Amino acid sequence: MAISFYFIDLMDIAKLNFHHLRYFWAVAKEGNLTRTATRLRVSQSALSSQIRQLEEQLGSPLFRREGRRLALTEAGDIALAYAEEIFLIGHQLIATLEQGRRREQTLRIGAVATLSRNFQESFVKPLLTQPGVQLRLESGMLAELVLRLENHELDLVLANRLPGRKPGGRLRYRCLAQQPISIIGAQPPRGFRFPRSLSGAQMILPGRESEIRSEFDAMCEQLGLHFHLLAEVDDMATLRLLARDTRALALVPSVVVRDELRDGTLYEQCVVPGLFETFYAITVERRFPHPLLKTALAREAKELLETRLGPKLKGKRIQKASSKETSPATPTW
């Protein structure tokens, strides 16, 4: 009995012309028959004829006219959802088989432009030592990277905030690490106390779009804290340079300046209580996940945030942290 049902399903599928379905999908996305025909380089009459044949196969009209625009009927909405699912699976099939034919595996990672370069390096470094692996790392705005991820142009997006969730969306989120935010300066932390020592101080802060900045501003408002804003910087690499080359204090995750903390160019004045940055890996649900994703996402948070202090400098930092004059690790209110 099961065999006969399977046979009937195959017969139903055979009635569906996937070429017609592709043309329907293109018109549904464009909303205009003439423009779609021009883009696909077919005549308008031929395009219209193929959509009519699809409607006959499905037994329902797929479009209704609203002025100069073609709008989807209820059946058209359903057909579009299925068409996108069908073409998505087909795209995954091609991409997976092409990847299997290559001797080298390419992992395409997108990173938010404001994300710490040190964190990115920690994340990708183990992948570079694997044989037969080619890494492609690109930066951009979060919305742009997520769109490319959904279009299968990227395998993974690294970010320090999450995009808006869509109903029925395919995005998957994984928290890679979370770390406290520090006040950093070019001078040793002599008698530094949070928040008292920030009053009237010159400060370099992340841009206003940063979640760190929003939370810090709210904290300062609550505390009635006023300081002199020297610069707002979106790019963490630039913020690090300004912190190093000025006498201003900077609000940054310590991973951003871990090399400077290690060699004594910069000093951690304090850890800001209750303020954290979270690093996320964003992927998209796929039937055939990239084989390297499991390896890339398997590492622990402490490995990704490792400061790698040398023995001599580590001793110096312990000495400073234990000094009666300073309390960089435990700020007081």
For the beta carbon of residue 241, count every other beta carbon within 10 angstroms: 13
Q: 204-256: per-residue pLDDT in tens? A: 999 888 888 999 999 999 999 999 999 999 888 888 899 889 889 999 988 88
pLDDT at position 224 is 93
Angle (nearest 5°) at CA 256 between 254 and 258: 65
For the chain, domain boundaries: 2-98
- pTM for this model (two decimals): 0.59
The confidence score (pLDDT) of residue 31 equals: 85
Amino acid residing at 128: L
The CATH architecture of the domain made up of 2-98 is Orthogonal Bundle (1.10)
CA angle centred on 139, ends 244 and 268, rounded to 5°? 25
Which range is most confident: 167-171, 189-193, 308-312? 189-193
Rounded to the nearest 5 percent, the helix, strand and coil shares of the chain are 45, 25, 30
Alpha helices in 102-162 (DSSP H): 117-128, 142-150
pLDDT, position 12: 54
Question: Percent of the chain beyond pLDDT 90?
Answer: 26
Picking from 152, 82, 72, the residue whose alpha carbon sits closest to that of residue 110 is 152
Q: Give the pLDDT of residue 102.
A: 52
On the question of pLDDT at 51 being above 80, the answer is yes
Peptide bond into 195 cis (omega under 30): yes
Q: How far apart are the first and last CA of the chain?
A: 75
Rounded Cα–Cα distance for residues 30 and 202 (Å): 52
Distance CA 47, CA 41 (A): 10
| 3-state SS class at 276 | strand
Over range 8-17, report the average pLDDT: 54
CA angle 243, 143, 138 (to 5 degrees): 65
- pLDDT grade, residue 96 (50/70/90)? low
User: What pLDDT is stored for residue 310 in this prediction?
Assistant: 38
